Structure 1
Amino acid sequence: MIDLSSVGNTDGNPLFYDLPSTLDEFLYSYNPCGPFTELTCVDVAACQYSPYYYTGYDIGVPDKVSFNYDGLNVIANYVSQDGTRQSFITLVCDPGAATPSLDVMGESTTTQYYMTLTSAAACPVPSPFGSSGGISGGSVLLIIFFVLLAVYLATGVAFNKFRRSASGKELIPNLNFWTELPALVRDGVKYSLSLVCKRKSGYGAV
């Protein structure tokens, strides 16, 4: 899980403003988590600005973003409001980068724009539910087991108390079974070990 909530402005201005590109002559602005407005770019996450025509182009809005993993980094894919342009922001984890930085490649192909955000905020943080994002199957089975055990004990004790007028250890449901269980387990272990020892000793001559 990556949390970018600490990165970006919330006052309607972009964190990165009019940065030059390595591929074209446009300037680019970007704000990771909050919308901003720049000229004709209204409530966007990313804007391409032409210094010659004084025009801004929406290249991604914050409510149209998806995240993908390329095997090394997470990539944020923003889509413009009209769906015609896309921005791909590669999120690079750098624990020592207290101040985030943005490298702008620009328009690599028509209507597709590429940037790289380097920040400590791009580093994974532990998920409260583990790596799968949910409770594991083993945890679910344990929860079910203990819930059923509690229901079994509560029902058994209530039945023995009110229907059989039992008291003390007689309240325990199926008392004879639980009393004999340790001996049964012991016998089972002994039997299993005896089979293992016989296999290790090999076969007799025919």
Structure 2
Amino acid sequence: MSLPMNQLGLFYVVIAVVCHSAVGNRFQEAFVMNCDHTFPDGVSYDLTPLTRTAGRPDYVGRDKIDDLYYMNVCSNVQEIPKECRAFRKEVRSPVYQVRNDSYCHWLGLEGSHQWDYIEPGSPYVGVQISYSNGEICEEGVHREVRMQFYCDHMSRLGSIADYYVTQEDPCVYVITFPTPYGCPRAQQLSKGWVFVICVCLLAATYVTAGVAWNVKNGAPLGTSALPHLEFWRQLPDLVKVRGSGWRGALRVAR
């Protein structure tokens, strides 16, 4: 038994959409500003594709007490939150906090940014950008925020599930952002590798789903449960026949 052809066609359409999203949408951010950095040891990063541009919404995250954070990467936010404008806080900042009581704070200035490894001496963990000179907090010091870009080859760019916000102390905020751009530049996956991974996932899903379907419909567990087994057995002969036909056609054409 094998998967019905209509279900098989739908399966391929779904996989194609997933692969297109992985290969295409991952690179859809426009180039706006130079957001790359090379450390003295020669390791470099390029976060430029993460920068949100005009017409694209800012990133929005939450912390465990449900405060909201509006943020951009290597640039100020595209739009100051309305809660901040209500308090006439219109200082341009890369990160704003909107508390659950609707009060607003800006957490740093773009011009104060500093690059560091997340873990000193470990470039493959990821890179962080720290912003200082934020709004004065209750302790009488300026707020600070660290955006930590962890090296994650398979991360989904721009999803709220990809990052979260914590506070190291009342005046220091940490944003965790897994992304392939948090990997050293030589370690970032190319479109070709993303395509190869998609093909491997497609093959694994095809075999797993086909075996499960055939076993459910009475096929014994084993080689005989593989999907479209007869087709794959005949494929070498089909290739030979087609190849011979093409070679014959070429000889006639000559």
Q: Classify the TM-score, shorter chain.
A: 0.5 to 0.7
Deviations 1:145-198 (A, max 9, x none): xxxxxxxxxxxxxxxxxxxxxxxxxxxxxxxxxxxxxxxxxxxxxxxxxxxxxx
Report the CA distance between 1:98 and its aligned residue.
4.7
Q: What SS does the aligned partner of 1:34 have?
A: coil
Between structures 1 and 2, the one with greater strand share: 1
Percent of paired sites with the same residue: 19
Compared with structure 1, are the counterparts of its residues 63 and 125 closer, same or farther at alpha carbon in structure 2 (3 Å cutoff)?
same
Compared with structure 1, are the counterparts of its residues 79 and 7 closer, same or farther at alpha carbon in structure 2 (3 Å cutoff)?
same
Correspondence for 1:59: 107
Between structures 1 and 2, the one with greater helix share: 2
Compared with structure 1, are the counterparts of its residues 12 and 92 closer, same or farther at alpha carbon in structure 2 (3 Å cutoff)?
same
Compared with structure 1, are the counterparts of its residues 28 and 20 closer, same or farther at alpha carbon in structure 2 (3 Å cutoff)?
same
Correspondence for 2:95: 46
Q: Look up the equivalent residue of 1:16 and give its one-letter code.
A: Y
Q: Whose Rg is larger?
A: 1
- Structure having greater relative contact order (Cα 8 Å, sep ≥ 6): 2
Correspondence for 1:193: none
Moved segments of 4+, more than 4 Å: none
Report the CA distance between 1:105 and its aligned residue.
3.0
Q: Look up the equivalent residue of 2:116 and give its one-letter code.
A: N
Q: Identify the match of residue 91 of structure 1 among 143, 149, 152.
A: 149
Please list every run of 5 or more consecutive structure 1 residues that lacks an aligned counterpart in the other structure.
Answer: 127-206
Correspondence for 2:52: 9
Report the CA distance between 1:13 and its aligned residue.
6.6
Report the CA distance between 1:56 and its aligned residue.
1.6
Report the CA distance between 1:81 and its aligned residue.
4.4
Length, aligned pairs only: 123
Compared with structure 1, are the counterparts of its residues 46 and 12 closer, same or farther at alpha carbon in structure 2 (3 Å cutoff)?
farther
Compared with structure 1, are the counterparts of its residues 67 and 12 closer, same or farther at alpha carbon in structure 2 (3 Å cutoff)?
farther
Compared with structure 1, are the counterparts of its residues 12 and 34 closer, same or farther at alpha carbon in structure 2 (3 Å cutoff)?
farther
Q: Please provide the CA RMSD for this pair.
A: 2.3
Report the CA distance between 1:6 and its aligned residue.
0.9
1:79 maps to 2:132? yes
Contact 2:126–2:183 (Cα < 8 Å) also in 1: no
Please list every run of 5 or more consecutive structure 2 residues that lacks an aligned counterpart in the other structure.
Answer: 1-43, 136-140, 187-254
Report the CA distance between 1:45 and its aligned residue.
0.8
Q: What SS does the aligned partner of 1:63 have?
A: helix
Query: What is the TM-score when the length of structure 2 is the normalising length?
Result: 0.43
Q: What SS does the aligned partner of 1:2 have?
A: strand
The CA distance in 1 between the partners of 2:127 and 2:185, in whole Å, is 13
